[in-house]
A and B are shown apart, each in its own frame.
Chain A
């Protein structure tokens, strides 16, 4: 075996694949399970390759699109819900097309290990009429990244690379290929390409539609889609992405007895599916995430075929694939295993010992105890753990930035006091615009920005507003006398409580900047 073999997470294999494909810039906002992609580029990239964090997924996407406009290869990475934030540029970049290659990585999180939903990013690619690739292994993740850049430059569209948590955070030996050079700066030939005025957009959209047969043909011919024969035609298997591994595991080293279509590239290879259906009247679709292929297959095949998968309960609708649920779907007898211990109880995550957020929540809880009709709206970050015992201090955690805007909406409805709690990085990601709404309307809300100087939950990445939050809040128009800066420490509890009580009484926008460094980043220094 090659001595150049290295152990890489699939996330890292994507990053190495991009670097070796001649990447000029990677863009991202941290989000589990995608964070390690940009972190790897930061560790490994040669000088001159862009690898700084962006404020959010939308800014990251647009920066990557700008690099692709300039003819160079760009990668933008995010978790699945990050693609919601970047959905506007994603869908519109299908209409502009690209100049240099643009690969969009979306890391989905079935089973919601670190997320608030299970959305499947393949629907986005389908919706935007863009091709997608989905690796089954770390080595394939590496190879697919270069393939995605090639496809992007050949077809002049962004390409989505979709993977799920299990692969993103699994490490295996990967052998890299020879690296190639970056593209030179080269502007688009047609000055109207990126100007989506209706007349241009209609023309571009027609061109995008005209590319669809070629994109489908690329999937039919792709090395990542493969139909393998099998003698037992009672059922044909469609295995997307890493599903093929669980099928092989269930066969325990023996060849799979059924015909099997492995899918790694979309749009759906309909001809390959029809060829499988010619052999088998029953098809079992195995995919990690939502029943994307399973639902579409009904439109590809005529009536009379039986399609099994997540929709008919052969596999559970919710949750990730496992060796056990795939073996069961294949009709394998369940292995006899030891019983679970009756002593085992869940161990949920919690705030670290000496976390500054705990001290903030303690004075928030005490102040709110005086206002049983009031509520604390919170946000995405470590402080969402403030929902769990013993703190049980928050009423919401929905999406990035929603604390401020939900507090404002609840205040509009008459709820008093309406309090929002958001972290510094989430505030600069998606909180600033909501605060402007509240400032404009002089909404009676009290906003606590828990400023620990970092993006904590994902491991302590840079927070772009660090050292500038006071200026940002003032610049958005918050009255200086209602901007308080305090330090969440036990010894300051009484003074902090007093400050919050005063601001809760104010019937306008108050902002309390509760500032103390994350205990994890402090430990590392």
Chain B
């Protein structure tokens, strides 16, 4: 078993939380993991990405080689496009629709959406709206994770247990909100026919 993915977003959007949840589930499963993160200056609103590699044996590089990612999971649509050279021929993209236009010359969002929708295996959805509707407005990242759950080599209960572990110290209400958002997004993805 070998699964490579990239989690992308803008500094401060919570991509490390997604990686932590997946990492916890991988550890519980008894598999190996390498997870290359971005810390420091870029976390101040810059482009940030996590390379996440899961395997049942030895993993060599900390970085996913180009063309090898089975999944790009993005909290921002332009950040999904940024990592296209890493996406495998049969790879999938799960991306939040909401743009973060914190720099000059942000492209026309309609063009960004159109390019993403042209990819086979792309799910583009309003994660913020879904999070709001399910009582976890702060859980946009869990919405994106939930929508990608069926792509991952991990079971939904295993991911749910990891979410519970991740948010436990923030209290039962936070755990409940994150789980509700995760489940609603997983359900939405089930109904989605990948083109």
Task: Tell me whether B40 and A457 are in contact (CB under 8 A).
Answer: yes
Instruction: Tell me which residues from 311 to 352 in chain A have a Cβ below 8 Å from any Cβ of chain B.
Output: 322-324, 327, 335-341, 343-352
Q: Quick check: is A447 within 8 A (CB to CB) of the other chain? A: no
**What 1/0 flags go to A16-36 for Cβ under 8 Å of B?**
000000000000000011011
Task: Tell me whether B82 and A349 are in contact (CB under 8 A).
Answer: no
A172→B62 CA distance, assembly (Å): 9
Count B-side interface residues using an 8 Å CB cutoff.
51
Task: Tell me whether B81 and A343 are in contact (CB under 8 A).
Answer: yes
**What 1/0 flags go to B98-116 for Cβ under 8 Å of A?**
0000111111000110010
With A1-B30, A173-B27, A245-B61 as known contacts, state yes or no: A341 contacts B41, CB within 8 Å. Answer: no
Task: Tell me whether A33 and B47 are in contact (CB under 8 A).
Answer: no
With A166-B36, A343-B107 as known contacts, state yes or no: A337 contacts B44, CB within 8 Å. Answer: no
Instruction: Tell me which residues from 19 to 41 in chain B have a Cβ below 8 Å from any Cβ of chain A.
Output: 19, 23-24, 27, 30, 32-41
Task: Tell me whether A343 and B40 are in contact (CB under 8 A).
Answer: no
Question: What's the least CB distance linking B107 to chain A, in Å?
Answer: 4
Question: What's the least CB distance linking A309 to chain B, in Å?
Answer: 19
Q: Quick check: is B42 within 8 A (CB to CB) of the other chain? A: yes
Q: Which of A249, A350, A352 contacts B65 (CB 8 A)?
A: A249
With A7-B23, A346-B103, A349-B46 as known contacts, state yes or no: A172 contacts B32, CB within 8 Å. Answer: yes
Instruction: Tell me which residues from 72 to 108 in chain B have a Cβ below 8 Å from any Cβ of chain A.
Output: 78-79, 81-82, 84-87, 102-107
Q: Which of B27, B60, B86 contacts A248 (CB 8 A)?
A: B60
Task: Tell me whether B44 and A345 are in contact (CB under 8 A).
Answer: no
Task: Tell me whether A341 and B11 are in contact (CB under 8 A).
Answer: no
Q: Quick check: is A435 within 8 A (CB to CB) of the other chain? A: no
A344→B66 CA distance, assembly (Å): 17
Q: Which of B44, B47, B61, B79 contacts A352 (CB 8 A)?
A: B44
Task: Tell me whether B85 and A339 are in contact (CB under 8 A).
Answer: yes
Q: Which of A6, A33, A245, A336 contacts B39 (CB 8 A)?
A: A33
Give the chain B neighbours of A6 by CB distance below 8 A.
27
A245→B32 CA distance, assembly (Å): 15
With A173-B27, A338-B85, A382-B44 as known contacts, state yes or no: A249 contacts B67, CB within 8 Å. Answer: no
Q: Quick check: is B43 within 8 A (CB to CB) of the other chain? A: yes
Task: Tell me whether B35 and A33 are in contact (CB under 8 A).
Answer: no
A58→B23 CA distance, assembly (Å): 37
Give the chain A neighbours of B112 by CB distance below 8 A.
343
Q: Which residue of A lies closest to B114 (CB)?
A: A343
Give the chain B neighbours of A322 by CB distance below 8 A.
63
Task: Tell me whether B41 and A7 are in contact (CB under 8 A).
Answer: no
Task: Tell me whether A245 and B60 are in contact (CB under 8 A).
Answer: yes
Q: Which residue of A lies closest to B57 (CB)?
A: A253
Give the chain A neighbours of B115 by CB distance below 8 A.
341, 343
Q: Quick check: is A169 within 8 A (CB to CB) of the other chain? A: yes
Give the chain B neighbours of A35 by CB distance below 8 A.
39
Instruction: Tell me which residues from 326 to 381 in chain A have a Cβ below 8 Å from any Cβ of chain B.
Output: 327, 335-341, 343-352
Question: What's the least CB distance linking A12 to chain B, in Å?
Answer: 12
Question: What's the least CB distance linking B10 to chain A, in Å?
Answer: 7
Give chain A's interface residue range (CB within 8 Å of chain B): 35 or more
Give the chain B neighbours of A339 by CB distance below 8 A.
84-85
Question: What's the least CB distance linking A9 to chain B, in Å?
Answer: 7
Give the chain A neighbours of B12 by CB distance below 8 A.
352
A32→B42 CA distance, assembly (Å): 11
Best-buried of B24, B36, B68 by chain A (most CB within 10 Å): B36
Q: Quick check: is A507 within 8 A (CB to CB) of the other chain? A: no
Q: Quick check: is A418 within 8 A (CB to CB) of the other chain? A: no
Q: Quick check: is A95 within 8 A (CB to CB) of the other chain? A: no
Task: Tell me whether A335 and B33 are in contact (CB under 8 A).
Answer: no
Task: Tell me whether B44 and A171 are in contact (CB under 8 A).
Answer: no
Task: Tell me whether A33 and B40 are in contact (CB under 8 A).
Answer: yes
Task: Tell me whether B37 and A345 are in contact (CB under 8 A).
Answer: no
Question: What's the least CB distance linking A163 to chain B, in Å?
Answer: 12
A9→B33 CA distance, assembly (Å): 11
Instruction: Tell me which residues from 47 to 74 in chain B have a Cβ below 8 Å from any Cβ of chain A.
Output: 47, 59-68
A350→B47 CA distance, assembly (Å): 11
Q: Quick check: is A114 within 8 A (CB to CB) of the other chain? A: yes
Q: Quick check: is A389 within 8 A (CB to CB) of the other chain? A: yes
With A172-B35, A337-B66, A341-B81 as known contacts, state yes or no: A350 contacts B45, CB within 8 Å. Answer: yes
A352→B46 CA distance, assembly (Å): 11
Task: Tell me whether B44 and A344 are in contact (CB under 8 A).
Answer: no
Question: What's the least CB distance linking B44 to chain A, in Å?
Answer: 4
**What 1/0 flags go to A240-256 for Cβ under 8 Å of B?**
00100110110000000
Give the chain A neighbours of B81 by CB distance below 8 A.
341, 343-344
Question: What's the least CB distance linking B165 to chain A, in Å?
Answer: 12
A331→B104 CA distance, assembly (Å): 40
A344→B23 CA distance, assembly (Å): 29
Given contacts A340-B85, A349-B11, 4 further A-B contacts (CB under 8 A): A170-B37, A245-B61, A337-B85, A347-B78
Chain B residues engaging chain A, CB cutoff 8 angstroms: 10-12, 19, 23-24, 27, 30, 32-47, 59-68, 78-79, 81-82, 84-87, 102-107, 111-112, 115
A sample of 30 inter-chain contacts (CB < 8 A) reads A7-B23, A32-B39, A32-B40, A33-B39, A113-B40, A113-B41, A114-B41, A170-B35, A171-B23, A171-B35, A171-B36, A172-B32, A245-B61, A248-B61, A322-B63, A336-B67, A337-B66, A341-B81, A341-B84, A341-B115, A343-B78, A344-B81, A347-B47, A348-B46, A349-B11, A349-B43, A350-B44, A350-B46, A350-B102, A458-B40
